[in-house]
Each structure stands twice: as structure tokens, then as C-alpha cells.
Amino acid sequence: MAFVAVNSHALARELWPSGIGKLQQDKQLTLQNLPASRIVPKDSDDLLRWLFVQLVERGRRAHVFMHPSVDGAKGSPEVVLRLQGVIEDANMGLYGDWDQTETNAKKAMQRLVLGSGGCREAFAPQLKALDDIRQTVNVDTGASVVTEDEDPSGLLDTVADKWRITTRTKCGYENGEDGIESLNGLSLRPGDMVDVSVTVVGVIVDGQGGKRCDVVFEPKTVVRLASGAAVQDAFEAASREAAIAR
């Protein structure tokens, strides 16, 4: 999993107030002790050498992998990015935003929107990294993963021929002992501070000018680092410290 750097000295996650951007179990990781495979390049030429794109699913999707020549890469793993931010909007329930009608089943999706919470110096570099990757990359339904216990009403079975949940975003929270406990996605609330791992996927679509590649970042894991109340306390503490320093 690769982190975003702000400059040659620090990772973006280190700039959040009171250290709330760090996952406790890997807080020891810094720009100085991470290999090149775990740091998103800032230079466009370096980024081109860092990743490559491979078409899959009969040319309808493009997955992004790390070049095997990158220091620290083991083979050609799929590119996974670690991002941090304050939740602005979330719908991580099993059905996502599905209105439970057959017509709209295929449009359903989960949603997680992150923002800076006022800490642009930590968030803006991540947006820049995602945009750089999007520009660089721009060049079958599987089996359902939902169990009967999760959908006892059988609601999803009624649209199984049109839409299925084939992948799951794992949600969790830090338990205070350098461990992560499972968390129902519906427990994520606006204002929470989270660490998100995303993969880079290109979706090939037909447009008026021919085919184009829409690059999306698909969440794989979401870990709540701090509740909304704790985030607010951290920002207020940082503001007081800044006022004293002045």
C-alpha cells in the first residue's frame, strides 16, 4: 500500500493535527523508512515508470499494477493507495443507495466522500496525487459475496439476474490496543477521521468521440481513526496551540 508524500521530508498523513491521521499499528512508517513501492511518485515521468495499466474483462476495465522494477515491489502487485480524510458523506450499508426497486438495482452503489475538515495542507497533496494518477492511467459479473444471514429477506435474490454484490469494502476501527476491530459500514458518520485503502480502476466506456477511460478509485478497506467528536477536539487543540505560538 502506497502513501502520499507532501515533500521530501513528510507524508501527508503526518500533517493532520494531534497525529489523528496515523493508524496506530503502522505509525512508525515514515518517508525515510519506506521503499519507493510505498510512496506515490510526485514527478509524472517517475509515475509512468512506477505503474502500468492492464486491460481486463474483454477490454471493459483497466486495472493498475506496480512495475516490478520499482524498489520494494514484489512482482507486480495491484496499486493500492492509503488515503486519510474526514468523512463528509457516507453510505456504506450492504445495499448502498439502492432504493430496493428492480429498475434501479444496477445503478446502486456505496458512497464515501472525504474532505479536509479544514486541514488542506494534509488533504490537498492527496487530491493532487489522485489527479496525477488519473491522468497517467487515462490512456462479468461474478458470484455474490452476500450471505443468507446478511440478507434474510432474500431481497437481493429478486434482482440477482441483473445486479449482484461481488466485492465488499471492509470497515473497521482502532480498538486502542494497536488492533483493528470489524465495524458495520453504517456506523461511519460525517466528521469521522478515516484511513482508506483504494485500488485504481479504469472503466472503458463508449463515448461520442470513441472509447474513453474513466478512472475511479475503489475503496477496499476503511478504518475509523477517530470519531467526529475526537476530530473536533484535535482541531480545536491545534488551533489553541497555534494561537499561543503567535
pLDDT of residue 141: 42
Let me know if residue 67 belongs to a domain. Answer: yes
Which three three-digit cell numbers place residue 45? 515521468
Show Cβ contacts of residue 56 under 8 Å, excluding neighbours closer than 6 positions: 62, 63
Beta bridge pairs of residue 242: none
pLDDT of residue 132: 92
111-115 and 170-174 strand pairing: unpaired
CB contact at 8 A, 37 and 141? no
Within 13 Å, how many C-alpha atoms sit on residue 228's CB side? 10
Show Cβ contacts of residue 101 under 8 Å, excluding neighbours closer than 6 positions: none
Let me know if residue 6 belongs to a domain. Answer: no
pLDDT of residue 212: 81
Let me know if residue 103 belongs to a domain. Answer: yes
d(CA 187, CA 192): 10
Q: Which bin fits 43, alpha (ψ -120 to 50), beta or left (φ > 0)? A: beta
Let me know if residue 4 belongs to a domain. Answer: no
Which three three-digit cell numbers place residue 1? 500500500
Rounded to two decimals, the pTM is 0.75
DSSP-derived letter for residue 102 is S
CB contact at 8 A, 130 and 111? no
The segments of the chain whose pLDDT lies below 50 read 140-141
d(CA 124, CA 127): 5
pLDDT of residue 149: 74
SS3 state of residue 234: helix
Which residue type sits at 163?
W
pLDDT of residue 58: 63
170-174 and 210-226 strand pairing: parallel
pLDDT of residue 59: 59
Which three three-digit cell numbers place residue 119? 486541514
pLDDT of residue 57: 62
Let me know if residue 56 belongs to a domain. Answer: yes
Let me know if residue 1 belongs to a domain. Answer: no
User: What is the number of structural domains in the chain?
Assistant: 1
- Can you give the residue range of the structural domain that contains 179? 12-245
Q: How far is CA 73 from the centre of its chain?
A: 20
Beta bridge pairs of residue 39: 3
Which three three-digit cell numbers place residue 118? 479544514
Sign of CA dihedral 49, 54, 59, 63: negative
Let me know if residue 107 belongs to a domain. Answer: yes
Beta bridge pairs of residue 224: 173, 194
CB contact at 8 A, 144 and 156? yes
Q: Phi first, then psi: give them for residue 198, nearest 5 degrees.
A: -130, 150
Let me know if residue 49 belongs to a domain. Answer: yes
